[in-house]
Structure 1
Amino acid sequence: MIIGIGTDLLEIKRIANTRKNHTAERIFSEKELRQASDKDSMLAGDFACKECVVKCFGTGFAEGIRPIEIEILREDSGKPYVVLHGNALKKFEELGGKMIHVSITDTGELVSAFAVIEG
């Protein structure tokens, strides 16, 4: 059963600005920052996925859910996957979530992401 669907579109340059003004550490985990290295497109994809997940929840970044509680990591193949913490994990469990599927693509200027929560 599908619990929620979310999609997001983001300009990559918006994420480059988070690195400049040092807000990236409040949005991304150490693992995400290390994984992305200096690739703004990867961090933009991660943030777009975080937005998709909270859209699946039906809450946005509310109910105490913070972006850093939603980690977007990569398998060796490059496939993204989601690891939830704190209030994000609590909301996922309340909804009866079993799996989160995510997909990310970019054009060089824009990044698009899609998420589905299965229950």
Structure 2
Amino acid sequence: MNEIMTSAGRMSKADAARMRFAKHYEIMRKYHTQVNRIKNGNIAKNNKTGRTGVWLDPKRNIYQAYITVNYKKMHLGCFDSYAEAVEARIEAEHKYYDPLIAAIEEEFS
């Protein structure tokens, strides 16, 4: 069966996928961010620390934390322990991502 029921009525699966992509693309264009990545918290396969936005500087043997907002990388600091770096990253996520996600859900839901 190639049709599904949506709030807009019956439509093909391809049309439904196009509508989802159009909505996703509109969000990316307006807010300059990939909301699905923020919400899902997926970790890149080449991540060595296990936490997005935290990396170990092998030369100085310290952890650095960063966050990317509106395609701009913001340095959060250098930390002696992994736990401190993760804590800084989580605080930054709440500060920058929570209001963004709330605004997007309010506008596009």
- Is the helix fraction higher in 1 or 2? 2
TM-score bucket (shorter structure): under 0.3
- Is the strand fraction higher in 1 or 2? 1
The structure whose RCO (Cα within 8 Å, separation 6+) is larger is: 1
**Structure (1 or 2) with the larger CA radius of gyration:** 2
